[in-house]
């Protein structure tokens, strides 16, 4: 706190306002960031955090208000102006070319014409120094979300900014990786750099940040020293009321039939950098939530595609849904058996960004709800789809600016609530979710987790793939760990400890023994 | 200095609607300058070009004759482009449709009854659809770029037609002219109002096709599938839609409509096969599709506008003594301004001077 008093603040924002149509996304926001501090920006989805940092980074122009940088008034009209001032940003949604390598993507953002090899070398040393393991020559298209984020962080660090804005940086890291990132950030702070840190993880905010500014509904509602607060008190300030803790009623006695069965699933790598799946066995009984932990890029995406039917198997009985062999079926037929799927990427995979919510409802339910949504001759019944959309929106408390907005216009958490709600609305007997609460704030995440638990307790089988261990411990009845395309035996939650799961995530223990005959057939 | 396109955070709805009209106005201005540079009075020239052809009834019939194939083809192309399949070969599908439909009156001239014309139309559609299936097959099987293959197949079709009318299908009583025998009465597409002008049923096919495809695109599951697969292929796969089947659907639908346009033109406006049966309808229809914003109803209006450029070209040739190639110039100008206006709705132009050049950091 004393740093603020005796030094000129690095960044001072007064009365910053941004209006989108009828919505005031930022309403006279004040923010002061001192030299060498880690400043947390807290708030629920849609509180205006992203709008605020976009204005600081020059991607959006403020309606009114002043920004002072190093005591001098500045107008940040574009990201390149921001960069020249010394403001760097790591976005929550990445801006990378999938067809280029990591190093080439970094080169694109640099002003000079440094040779790629030199950039790769610099990136490699930065990645080592800051604990962000990355192969600069890997194609971005083949990298996981976690690895892509590392490119963004390294790209930002290469420009030696004075202020680094990080939007949800740890949401895809393992506890160990997050620890390393914190060391990086603390080192940067020691070097006198300032960091604006946006996160929903209140524990890490309390551990890392010197000060916090809390936003709600576009306004700053408070400042605090997060180290003197509890997670509950921080959450209360963000939400404006108490956040209900997730309740997990006791699981039914292990007698539920196996609604989802994965019996010896193997998959050859689809691209040069994708992970092969090796003889995965897993059964998810009715009434239970089974979690799959693992570091990003260990085959979770490939596994999800195989289970959902986006990638079919060679043999029918590798995947069983409600007892039926579904390995040869496509995703629509698997849905017709009662399964539902929520992928990791919201925009462009789980939802078509430029289409409205009602169209996105039709996206996954045109076959299962054909009676309700599609009439004679393939005519789409707009009225009943619209009614179902509004039902989901109110059920999941999706906040939006119009009656039926484009998916891309929703904040990440609100879109995720809609996507999960879209599947819950049909009461599926099997639900497979990849990263259910990535980048989602505390209030929305609790709601999503509670809804998934309730679905399971109602007699469905729920499989949750997540990199967030807290989440898995909160929800799961058993946790298996995916490492390098292999899946460990599920550990009942009563026997699971962080240490045990963490070791499995690091690959300390091999996957449970596969029948020798099958092991011999695995792809290299 | 460098010119950059910067994405606008919000797009103006007003200008999205106005964009085709602004493009038209800009085309007029540019055309006027062009005429002035040629030493003609620009106002007089534009009058002869755009107004004079609309003053008489027979000339409106000509407009319908020219608009019909443009609309038919463009309506099919709109489905292709919406689904992100770039069929540039409608001209070839038009020609093959004309050839396939002409098989009956050329090879079996004695087969004359009421079934001939409907059969010809169906065969024309089938021919166009099958010809369009070639680039679709190449794209789905070998990942070939459909822009190149469909375009190259245009030249194959044109040369095939040329060979047919000079060789095996040449009219035995035709004094060695490179054309087939003239179609018998049962094989000719009837005129709508023979008393007023030559317009035939082609324009009716075009409007009906536009309405049907509009319903398909805006109201049905299939249209939804088209838009999802075109806008976000991965979400489309997640929805359970097959991208490969969509390639065939889009190509064969647009091929069938181009084929129908081809046989309608041959059996209606021409009455026989000749070495060339199209003044570039298949290519001009690409402009029509975009000017109509890939909306079948917009395409009807856009088709009439582009048909006018053909008539205006002829009129300008007669009244002003300029080359009829000026029609192509106008079409090119129009496409340029349409695409330009559409781009500026989504992006704004920014000039970057070398002194303060800092490349934008946001990649994709």
- The CATH 3.40.50.300 portion of chain A extends over 2-239, 258-521
Res. B266: pLDDT tops 90: yes
Which tops the pLDDT comparison, B335 or B73? B73
Q: What is the pLDDT of residues B234-259, one digit of tens each?
A: 999 999 999 999 999 999 999 999 99
Q: What is the 3-state secondary structure (H, E, C) of B109-163?
A: CCCCCCCHHHHHHHHHHHHHHHHHHHHHHHHHHHCCCHHHHHHHHHHHHHHHHHH
CB-based contact A501:A481 (threshold 8 Å): yes
Mean per-residue pLDDT over chain A, rounded: 85
In this prediction, residue B355 carries a pLDDT of 52
Query: Across A294-429, where does the E strand assignment appear?
Result: 319-321, 324-325, 339-342
In this prediction, residue B363 carries a pLDDT of 39
Q: How confident is the model at residue B84 (pLDDT cuts 50, 70, 90)?
A: very high
**Cα Rg of chain A, angstroms:** 23
Rounded-to-integer distance, Cα B236 and Cα A45, Å:
27
Compute the residue count for chain A: 524
Q: How far apart are the first and last CA of chain A?
A: 56
In this prediction, residue B312 carries a pLDDT of 87
Rounded-to-integer distance, Cα B68 and Cα B204, Å:
8
Tokens standing for residue B35 = 């005429």
Rounded-to-integer distance, Cα B5 and Cα B19, Å:
18
Residue with tokens 């920006």: A41
CB-based contact A26:A18 (threshold 8 Å): yes
Tokens standing for residue A456 = 């399971």
**Would you call B39 an interface residue with chain A, using a CB distance cutoff of 8 Å?**
no
- What's the topology of domain B2-356? ABC transporter involved in vitamin B12 uptake, BtuC (1.10.3470)
**Would you call B235 an interface residue with chain A, using a CB distance cutoff of 8 Å?**
yes
Q: What is the pLDDT of residues A244-293, one digit of tens each?
A: 677 888 777 666 788 999 999 999 987 766 789 999 999 999 999 999 99
Query: Across chain B, where does the E strand assignment appear?
Result: 2-7, 347-352
Which percentage of chain B shows pLDDT scores above 90? 68
Nearest chain B Cα to A361, which residue? B239
- Residue A38 φ then ψ, to 5°: -105, 115
A349 with B9: Cβ contact below 8 A: no
**Would you call A375 an interface residue with chain B, using a CB distance cutoff of 8 Å?**
no
Comparing CA positions, the residue from A75, A72, A464 lying closest to residue A246 is A464
Whether domain A258-521 has CATH 3.40.50.300: yes
CB-based contact B264:B69 (threshold 8 Å): yes
In this prediction, residue A483 carries a pLDDT of 86
Rounded-to-integer distance, Cα B180 and Cα A275, Å:
62
Note the ipTM here.
Answer: 0.82
- What's the topology of domain A2-239? Rossmann fold (3.40.50)
Q: What is the pLDDT of residues B310-363, one digit of tens each?
A: 888 888 888 888 887 888 888 889 889 988 988 888 888 888 776 544 444 443
**Cβ neighbours of B33 (radius 10 Å):** 11
Across B120-134, average pLDDT: 98
Domain residue extents for chain B: 2-356
Rounded-to-integer distance, Cα B35 and Cα B28, Å:
10
Q: Per-10-residue mean pLDDT for chain A, 524 residues long?
A: 60 90 83 93 80 89 91 89 89 79 86 82 83 82 75 85 86 68 85 87 85 89 88 78 75 76 91 83 94 86 94 92 94 96 93 93 93 89 94 90 87 89 95 88 85 94 90 92 91 87 69 38 38
Query: Across A225-326, where does the E strand assignment appear?
Result: 258-267, 277-285, 289-293, 319-321, 324-325
Tokens standing for residue B235 = 């979400």
A79 with B360: Cβ contact below 8 A: yes
A354 with B221: Cβ contact below 8 A: no
Strands A289-293 and A478-483: parallel
Residue with tokens 């599908």: B93
Q: What is the pLDDT of residues B205-228, one digit of tens each?
A: 999 999 999 999 999 999 999 999
Tokens standing for residue B63 = 């407009």
Tokens standing for residue A207 = 């551990």
Name chain A contacts of B360, Cβ cutoff 8 Å: 78-80
**Cβ neighbours of A217 (radius 10 Å):** 15
pTM reported for the whole predicted model: 0.76
In this prediction, residue A391 carries a pLDDT of 95
B144: closest CA of chain A, how far (Å): 18
Mean per-residue pLDDT over chain B, rounded: 91
């Amino acid at each position: 706190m004393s740093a603020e008093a005796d030094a000129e603040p690095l960044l001072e924002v007064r009365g910053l306002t941004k209006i989108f149509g009828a919505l005031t996304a930022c309403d006279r926001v004040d923010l002061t960031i001192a030299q060498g501090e880690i400043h947390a920006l807290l708030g629920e989805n849609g509180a205006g955090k992203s709008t605020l940092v976009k204005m600081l980074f020059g991607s959006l122009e403020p309606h009114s208000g002043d920004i002072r940088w190093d005591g001098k008034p500045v107008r940040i009209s574009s990201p390149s102006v921001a960069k020249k001032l010394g403001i760097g940003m790591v976005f929550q949604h990445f801006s990378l070319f999938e067809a280029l390598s990591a190093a080439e993507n970094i080169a694109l953002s640099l002003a000079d014409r440094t040779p790629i090899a030199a950039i790769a070398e610099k990136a490699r040393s930065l990645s080592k120094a800051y604990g962000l393991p990355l192969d600069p020559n890997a194609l971005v298209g083949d990298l996981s979300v976690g690895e892509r984020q590392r490119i963004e962080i390294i790209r930002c660090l290469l420009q030696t900014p004075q202020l680094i804005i990080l939007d949800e940086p740890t949401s895809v890291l393992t506890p160990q990786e997050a620890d390393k990132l914190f060391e990086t950030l603390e080192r940067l702070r020691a070097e006198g750099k300032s960091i604006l840190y946006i996160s929903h993880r209140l524990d890490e905010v309390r551990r890392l940040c010197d000060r916090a500014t809390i936003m709600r509904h576009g306004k700053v509602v408070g400042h605090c020293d997060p180290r003197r607060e509890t997670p509950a008190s921080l959450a209360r300030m963000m939400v404006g009321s108490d956040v209900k803790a997730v309740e997990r009623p006791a699981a039914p006695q292990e007698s539920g039939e196996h609604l989802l069965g994965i019996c010896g699933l193997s998959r050859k790598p689809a691209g040069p950098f994708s992970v092969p799946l090796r003889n995965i066995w897993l059964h998810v009984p009715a009434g239970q939530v089974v979690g799959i932990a693992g570091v990003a890029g260990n085959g979770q995406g490939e596994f999800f595609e195989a289970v959902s039917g986006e990638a079919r198997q060679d043999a029918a009985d590798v995947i069983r849904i409600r007892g039926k062999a579904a390995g040869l079926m496509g995703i629509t037929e698997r849905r017709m058996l009662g399964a539902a799927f929520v992928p990791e990427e919201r925009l462009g995979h789980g939802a078509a960004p430029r289409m409205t919510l009602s169209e996105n409802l039709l996206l996954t339910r045109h076959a299962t709800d054909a009676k309700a949504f599609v009439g004679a001759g393939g005519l789409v019944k707009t009225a009943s789809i619209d009614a179902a959309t509004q039902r989901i929106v109110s059920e999941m408390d999706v906040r939006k600016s119009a009656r039926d907005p484009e998916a891309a216009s929703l904040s990440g958490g609100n879109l995720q609530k809609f996507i999960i709600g879209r599947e819950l609305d049909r009461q599926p007997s099997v639900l497979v979710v990849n990263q259910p609460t990535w980048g989602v704030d505390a209030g929305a995440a609790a709601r999503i987790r509670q809804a998934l638990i309730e679905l399971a307790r109602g007699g469905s089988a729920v499989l949750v793939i997540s990199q967030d261990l807290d989440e898995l411990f909160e929800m799961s009845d058993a946790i298996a760990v995916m490492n390098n395309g292999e899946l460990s035996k599920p550990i009942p939650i009563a026997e699971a400890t962080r240490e045990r799961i963490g070791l499995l995530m690091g690959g300390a223990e091999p996957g449970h023994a596969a029948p020798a005959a099958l092991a011999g057939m695995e792809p290299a | 200095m460098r010119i950059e396109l910067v994405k606008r955070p919000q797009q103006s709805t007003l200008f999205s609607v106005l964009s085709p009209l602004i493009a038209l106005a800009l085309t007029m201005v540019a055309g006027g300058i062009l005429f002035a540079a040629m030493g003609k009075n620009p106002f007089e020239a534009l009058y002869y070009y755009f107004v004079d052809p609309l003053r008489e009834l027979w000339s409106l019939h000509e407009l319908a004759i020219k608009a019909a194939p443009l609309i038919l083809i463009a309506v099919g192309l709109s489905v292709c482009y919406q689904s992100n399949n770039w069929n540039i070969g409608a001209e070839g599908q038009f020609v093959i449709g004309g050839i396939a439909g002409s098989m009956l009156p050329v090879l079996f001239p004695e087969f004359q009854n009421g079934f001939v014309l409907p059969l010809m139309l169906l065969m024309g559609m089938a021919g166009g659809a099958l010809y369009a299936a070639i680039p679709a097959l190449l794209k789905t099987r070998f990942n070939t770029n459909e822009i190149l293959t469909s375009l190259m197949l245009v030249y194959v079709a044109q040369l095939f037609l040329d060979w047919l009318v000079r060789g095996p299908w040449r009219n035995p009583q035709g004094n060695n002219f490179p054309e087939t025998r003239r179609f018998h009465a049962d094989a000719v597409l009837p005129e709508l109002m023979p008393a007023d002008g030559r317009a035939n049923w082609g324009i009716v096919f075009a409007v009906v096709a536009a309405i049907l495809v509009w319903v398909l695109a805006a109201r049905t599951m299939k249209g939804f599938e088209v838009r999802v697969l075109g806008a976000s292929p991965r979400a489309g796969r997640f929805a359970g839609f097959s991208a490969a089947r969509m390639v065939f659907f889009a190509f064969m639908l647009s091929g069938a409509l181009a084929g129908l346009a081809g046989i309608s033109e041959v059996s209606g406006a021409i009455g026989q096969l000749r070495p060339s049966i199209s003044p570039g309808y298949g290519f001009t229809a690409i402009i029509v599709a975009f000017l109509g914003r890939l909306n079948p109803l917009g395409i009807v209006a856009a088709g009439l506008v582009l048909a006018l450029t053909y008539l205006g070209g002829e009129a300008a040739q007669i009244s002003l003594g300029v080359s009829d190639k000026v029609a192509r110039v106008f079409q090119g100008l129009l496409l340029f301004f349409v695409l330009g206006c559409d781009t500026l709705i989504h992006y704004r132009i920014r000039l970057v001077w070398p002194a303060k050049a800092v490349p934008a950091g946001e990649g994709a």
